[in-house]
Each structure stands twice: as C-alpha cells, then as structure tokens.
A and B are shown apart, each in its own frame.
Chain A
Amino acid sequence: MTLRSRHLLGIEGLDRSEILTILGQARTFREVLDRAIPIVPALRGRTVVNLFFEASTRTSTSFNLAASRLSCQCVNFSKATSSVSKGETLLDTARNIEAMGVDGIIIRHPAAGAPHFLARNVKAFVVNAGDGAHEHPTQALLDAFTLREKLGDLEGKRILIVGDIAHSRVARSNLLCFTKLGAKVAVCGPPTMIPPYVEDYGCEVFYRLDRILGEVDVVNMLRVQQERITASSFPTVREYRALYGLTAARLRKLAPEVVITHPGPVNWGVEMDFDVADFSQTLILPQVTNGVAVRMAVLFLLAGGEHPEG
C-alpha cells in the first residue's frame, strides 16, 4: 500500500497505484487542514530541510506548512545566504546539513538530476521540489488531486497542457501523471517550445490553440518562464498572447464546464488575461490549498515509520 522508494524523485518512478495512494492519503490530510486546530502530531520529532537553490515562494512555503502541520520541524535554506556563495558543492552542503541530523531533504535545484544525485549520496529521504526542466512531482500530484476533486476519476478526461512544454518541469511531470491516471493528454505551444519526440509520452501535439481548445475538459496553462527561455525560441509577449494566451475572448468561447489550472505564479496578460482569475472554473487557489495536503501526504509516507532498507 505504501511507496516502493523512500524518495520522491519524479512521477516517472511512480506507478498508478502509488500515485493513487498518495492522492488518497492527501484527501485525509485535506480534512486535517479544515480542523479547528489543523496540526497533527504524526511526525513529531522529525526534521526536514528545505534546500532551495532557486527562487520559490509557493513551493517552499507549501512544504514548510505541510511539515508544520505534521509537527515536523522544517529548516529553510536559501542559496543566497548560504556558503554556496562561497563555492560549497551541492554534496558538501547536503552532507553538512545531514550531519546536523535531518531526516529528509526537500530540494529544488536548477540542474536536472540534482535530487537523484543527492538520493544516491545521503541517508536522508529526498523529495524533488523541482529540478531544472526535468520534473516537479508534487506539482503534478497536487494538480491531479485538484482535478480529481473537481472531475472525479481522470480516466478518459481530455487534458490540454499549453505553453513552453520543452522547458517546463511541470509539463513533464503533469504529462506523466495524467497519462498514468488514464487521461488523454494533448500539448500545445509554439513549435520552438515543443520538444522533439514528445509524442512518445503518449500525447497529441497541437500548434494552434484554437483548434483544440473547444475539445477538452481541462486547460492546464503553464507559466512563460522568462528565466529559462532564449530570444530565439520565444516570439514576443504580444505574439505569444495572441496565439497561445488564454485571453478574455478565448475564455468567453470556452464551454462553461471546462476547468483551468495554472501552477503559478501567473504572468497576467501573457499566458492568461486577468479575467481568468475571476472565472468560476479556475482552480488556481484550490491548487495552492491542496498543495499543502498533498505535500503532507508525501512527507508522511516518506518520513512516517522506519524504512528497513536504510
């Protein structure tokens, strides 16, 4: 019933039943968040560290809160104020932090594979909170959780992921997660932002948003990641918005039951017009709330109990 691995490195390593286990546990933690006192003593005495080598408010706060709500201590580390600026290596940083007695490391790193590297080299359990353009598993899990709360089983549901598919770890994790849950996934974006062989993941590819928008149950918008893209792959903000933005005009044409998700932070006026924020089917804030419950489930499943394999 529990997870095979003692780390959460990506959706790739999870099978359908493991995903469903996490989502099932997340539901019970969602209920904890609504209590008069939304804290349970489940991980009393445990400590995790938020090891963030990239800027983040949502994800690091979410993990922090998830740990607190489980009575688990959470230490925050940020690159800017650490010895990393003195040239300390990732392994040294992690080993030093581990030597202070932490049970788990939650890592966000610009290099794909950094969490996997840590997992091989430290005794603590490792949670990938985003590694480069590779994976962001807890985002995919919280998106799946939010969609299931709204739509029920995702089997056969048509989900469209729109944006920079090539540079987005959210796109990859979501694509893997939704497909494993039986959804029919399509991706859409400028040709420069669609990675080659993306069809091998079992999705359809569209280059024109208006052709597919009318045929889906879910529109999963991605953030335009100014920090990861180059001038050659990205046209202009105006052109991007005109071709791939969820504009007020496109919103009006959507069927009323279509739901919209976005991992945040939103560049309003670029990938989405602000009108989307007030649309009743927009799940952006529920996504954030559910994110805490999903991360509680992940921490509880990884940190609760002893892992016999060490």
Chain B
Amino acid sequence: MTRRLANAQAVQSLVARLATQISRHNPGVKDLALVGIKRRGVPLAERVAARLNAGRKSKVPVGAIDITLYRDDLQMVAETPIVRGTEISFDISGKTIVLVDDVVFTGRTIRAALSALLDFGRPRAIQLAVLVDRGHRELPIQPDFAGKKVVTRRDDLVDIFLKETDGRDEVVLTRVGQSQRPKAKSQKPK
C-alpha cells in the first residue's frame, strides 16, 4: 500500500517552511552555511539556500557531505558501498552549519554526518533541517527544523523524490504487509 504524503506543490511549501524556520532562528542568516547530506540532502540544501539568498547581497555557502566512510554498519554490509565524495569549499570553523537531509529516521546518518563534519573544522553550532521527520530514532538526535512530521511504522518506507535526482517532486509512504515484507530491500538507516 502506498500513500502520497506530499505532491510537487507541497514539497515546495515544505522547503519554504524550512527556509522560514531557519532564517527566523538565525537572524540575518549571519555566518550561516548549509551542508546537504548526499544524495538528496544536497539539492534540498541548494533550494533552501536559494530562498535564504533571495533579496540578500551575501550568499549562504552550500556544501555537500558523503557519510559512507562514517557509517557504523560498514562491517555488516554485504558489498562495499561506493563513496561519492564530499565537497565543502569553505571553512566551517566559527560558522553555524545547518545540516540538510531529506528524511530523519533512526538518526544514524545524522550521527555519521556530525562526525564527518567535525573533521573539517570546529563550527560554532550545528543545526539539523529535514524535509520529513518519520520518527523511530535510535540515537538521541532531533531535528531543529522539520518540514513535516509523519507517524510511521518501523518498517514503512518513506521515499522522497526530487526533481534534481529523480525527475519529480514527491513524498511517498509505502506500507509493507507483514507477510510480504521484502528482506533484501532493506532501507538504509536514516
């Protein structure tokens, strides 16, 4: 069973909501930088930055972080994952960094991203912005900004599609029946 949680228009307004929350929480967006978590956090970070930059002279820098090398399940995965590379072209020290991702689930991706980010320098603060918070945290990590909170079951799949990566903007929840739960297609921890 699948259910659409947001259509293209709704995704846009979720992004707008994130931008508003971020700028309200960080007056003047001073010394702010966004870092998207690969892959879908990156286009989201760029969209949020575009909104934050509107009508402003100085631009909020945007970086991209790949957390593969920081995953806590590297020894358990069957096949070595491909590392996609991190691109942070600015000094993060002293800045307020907003980590951006599509979904927060177990919190393990965010934990990995925090470790990765701290290897680039010492930011003044790190905040977390996600498009969808679907609950079921396994670590004490909570988003500062969430576009949408969704009540899910542990084995539900929440898929975010973005124009930049998937050709369309959509958020879909898939409920997998108890009997027909696919074993192989385990969702990577979010």
A residues neighboring B (CB under 8 Å): 1-2, 21, 24-25, 27-29, 31-32, 35-37, 39-43, 45, 70, 300-301, 304-306, 308
Contact = CB atoms under 8 A, between A and B. Distances in A.
Contacts of A40: 69-70, 116, 119
Contact of A304 (B80, B115, B119, B120): B80
B78 A306 contact: yes
Given A40-B69, A40-B70, A41-B70, A305 B120 contact: no
B184 interface: no
Interface in B84-98: 84-87
Contact of B74 (A2, A36, A42): A42
A28 B67 CA distance: 12
A40 B77 CA distance: 18
B119 A35 contact: yes
Interface of B: 66, 68-70, 74-87, 115-116, 118-121
B115 A41 contact: yes
B74 A28 contact: no
A42 B120 contact: no
Contacts of B80: 2, 300-301, 304-305
B75 to A, nearest CB: 7
A305 B77 contact: yes
A308 B77 CA distance: 10
Contacts of A39: 119
Contacts of A36: 119-121
B82 A25 contact: yes
A305 B78 contact: yes
A222 to B, nearest CB: 32
Contacts of A45: 75
Nearest to B77: A305
A28 B119 contact: no
